Structure 1
Amino acid sequence: MKIFCSKDSLLSGVNAVQRAVSSKNTLPVLSGILISAEQQCLRFAATDLELGIRCEVPAQIEEEGVIVVPAKLFAEVVRKLPDTTITIKEQDGSITIYYYQSEITLRGYDPEEYPLLPDLIDPVSFNVPTVIFKNMIRQTIFSCAVEENRPVFNGTLLQIEGSNLRLVATDTHRLAYSISEIDNPEDANFSGIIPAKTLSEIYRLLRDEDEYLAISFNKSQIVFQFGLIFLVSRLIEGMFPNYKQVIPQTCETKINLSVRNFLEAVERASLLSHDKSGSNIIRIKVESAQLRIDQTTELGKISEQMEISMQGKDVMIAFNAKFLIDALKVIDSEQIIFELSGPYSPGVMRPLDNPNYLYLVLPVRMS
């Protein structure tokens, strides 16, 4: 292998695939990045056997070839290179990087041992506008569970039914739901749980200039293609809970709130809500067209009051402040409807001007 390319090209390739590199190192070769030069194209690929990313960058190929380089070391070297044309040669399982009158040689791994990223057989495909899908990820992914004892909650449910595309995420304490209309000329149907890590990578890698994202899938894997990026992910096995059953169809109290004012009030109250147990609970009282957040802890005392418009009963309820803040930060509307049904029933936030999004959060039972 012998190639010529810019530092920026190398850096974009490394940055695109590096997070798919295995951190567990069950196979030493998986701690590397596969670099192949062929047909005037330089390809980078990495996988941890659950997520795989492939990326193409521009380069001048003088001799074709393939090598697996240690990901972390190679990335650090590339970031330290000067902004000039870089020459890379591969020989006897090592690569030498030439710049100005200097050179660095790195030992590589045998590319024959590196698992290839699979191409789906007879996949079903459809396209989604990038702007829509990025926003749907942003408004749902934070509700995925972090603990790994129940894998179905570590991902987001993606459903395609007719012209509807849905993303649903829950950690059992809260649930975020987003739906959009898409063109689905082949009438594809799909329901699968995508790991949160996969969607985080897609969100990171998608650029505004990528107008459309192509999604292909089969029963066990899903592929996302955009720009010069190819990303393949396994689907999480298991049954996602019936989210429709937990969304209340009626409510006893309906409140119209300013998103910004409510967010700022909750953030201020949460500063005093951390007690010795590490909880982050705030108490909300709604009565007489007023919302109050009163907080007293060993740290101090705060009383927040907001004028609101409301329908229905007065209510006193407690929530984990972080769960409210996470949702309020991703709601793009200026106003929300907050639906409540007493101190033990879930609260539901709906943007006033967007019927295609909702956020459900369970209250905290107070003694």
Structure 2
Amino acid sequence: MKATIERATLLKSLGHVQSVVERRNTIPILSNVLVEAREDGSIRLMATDLDLQVDESVPAQVSQAGATTVSAHTFFDIVRKLPEGSQVELSAAEGKMQVVAGRARFNLSTLPRDDFPVIAEGELPTRFELPAQTLRQIIDKTRFAISSEETRYYLMGIFLHVADEKLKAAATDGHRLARVTVDKPEGADGMPDVIVPKKCVGELRKLLDEVEGTVEVSLSPTKIRFGLGNAVLTSKLIDGTFPDYNRVIPTANDKLLKLDPKSFMAGVDRVSTIASEKTRAVKIALDRDKVTLSVTSPENGLAVEELAADYGSDGLEIGFNARYLMDILHEIEGDTVEVHLADAAAPTLLRENDKSSALYVLMPMRV
């Protein structure tokens, strides 16, 4: 194998693929990235952890086609430290890959290309396209609610499904729920309900930053593939059943509070400075057209802040985890957030307005 590629191009692509590789691996080949020089004048880079795989092709000058695998993190670190603007020459033979740029020369150990595992996709019968912007919105507005509790593995991802002629994405950790509803894309009819794992969501979000236009989504009940320009991300799906989250979305919360999400978030942030790390509870007292935020901490004392608000129902005191509340408020883009309440023990619904694509549910805390 012999090829020359521009450092910036190689670095960007390597950055995409090497982040899939786990730092500690019991199987040596999984620490490696596949480097394949092709006769069509491109270099293909690929990495996998057996559940997730990123495959990207970038333009290069190829004088001899061939392929090898080399330590992903080492290769990435070398390219990162090479002089800007340099041309990188790659050549592989007899168990070594040589990397040359300017006066720098590295001889790296390799493992055979034939040992490199590839996720077998099988048939992916459901295919549709989504605007990159829509996919970014789906991820940003739901992923903070993904659970990290391994005993409830079926909550460790974003649930994608079609219902009521819409494509819906939901995530919950049992304390809060985030759901986004978008128009159903053409081709999504009959799509199986799938749970996209947290790691796949994270890698997909990074790749989406550089994609304009649309993303091709192909899936089966066990695998999902995203076509993102030069890169293809393939992932196994979580094998489990997502709970019926519609049961926790309140429909009869009759107390409506409206206020500015940014000042609400800033107020919660300020008073929660003294909250104990364990509970992070903030008490919210509602009165006519005002909200009083307070935190009482045995170690640190008391913090209180008043905010102007639009509220016309009976007085109410309710407590929330400050971090969870701020995560939701961070995703509200407009000038107003609607908070629909029932009582101090019932789930609370938050959204921008009734036309908003995103909806959030937050469980209260005792304070």
Q: Quick check: TM above 0.5?
A: yes
Task: Indicate yes or no: 2:291 matched with 1:294.
Answer: no
How far apart in 2 are the matches of 1:99 and 1:356?
50
| Aligned-pair CA distance for 1:159 | 1.1
| Aligned-pair CA distance for 1:24 | 4.2
How far apart in 1 are the matches of 2:163 and 2:129?
14
1:98 alignment counterpart: 100
How far apart in 1 are the matches of 2:316 and 2:164?
40
How far apart in 1 are the matches of 2:56 and 2:286?
53
Does the 8 Å CA contact 2:160/2:170 hold for their aligned counterparts?
A: yes
Matches of residues 156-167 of structure 1 in structure 2 within 5 Å? 156-161=158-163, 163-167=165-169
**Percent same amino acid at aligned positions?**
28
Change (3 A) 1:345 1:259: same
Point out where structure 1 has 5 or more consecutive residues left out of the alignment. none
| Aligned-pair CA distance for 1:179 | 0.6
Does the 8 Å CA contact 1:162/1:184 hold for their aligned counterparts?
A: no
1:53 alignment counterpart: 54
Q: Pick the aligned partner of 1:172 from 171, 174, 197.
A: 174
How far apart in 1 are the matches of 2:211 and 2:238?
30
2:128 alignment counterpart: 126
Counterpart code for 1:16? H
Task: Indicate yes or no: 2:234 matched with 1:238.
Answer: no
How far apart in 2 are the matches of 1:14 and 1:64?
19
Larger displacement relative to structure 2 (118-127 or 1-10) = 118-127
Matches of residues 71-220 of structure 1 in structure 2 within 5 Å? 71-83=72-84, 84-161=86-163, 163-185=165-187, 187-207=189-209, 209-220=211-222
Say which SS state the counterpart of residue 267 (structure 1) adopts: helix
Counterpart code for 2:288? S
| Aligned-pair CA distance for 1:354 | 4.0
Deviation per CA, 1:340-364, whole angstroms, max 9, x where unpaired? 1111011110112743211111011
Corresponding pairs, count:
364
Task: Indicate yes or no: 2:354 matched with 1:345.
Answer: no
TM-score, with length taken from structure 1: 0.95
2:358 alignment counterpart: 357
How far apart in 2 are the matches of 1:314 and 1:208?
48
How far apart in 2 are the matches of 1:239 and 1:112?
36
**Pairwise CA RMSD:** 1.6
Say which SS state the counterpart of residue 338 (structure 2) adopts: strand
| Aligned-pair CA distance for 1:92 | 0.7
1:307 alignment counterpart: 308
How far apart in 2 are the matches of 1:122 and 1:135?
24
TM-score, with length taken from structure 2: 0.95
Deviation per CA, 1:46-94, whole angstroms, max 9, x where unpaired? 1101111101111011100111101111111111111311111101121
Larger displacement relative to structure 2 (350-359 or 89-98) = 350-359
| Aligned-pair CA distance for 1:223 | 0.4
Does the 8 Å CA contact 1:162/1:187 hold for their aligned counterparts?
A: no
How far apart in 1 are the matches of 2:166 and 2:272?
37
How far apart in 1 are the matches of 2:126 and 2:185?
14
| Aligned-pair CA distance for 1:22 | 3.3
| Aligned-pair CA distance for 1:113 | 1.0
How far apart in 1 are the matches of 2:124 and 2:47?
23
Say which SS state the counterpart of residue 198 (structure 1) adopts: helix
1:285 alignment counterpart: 285
Task: Indicate yes or no: 2:42 matched with 1:68.
Answer: no
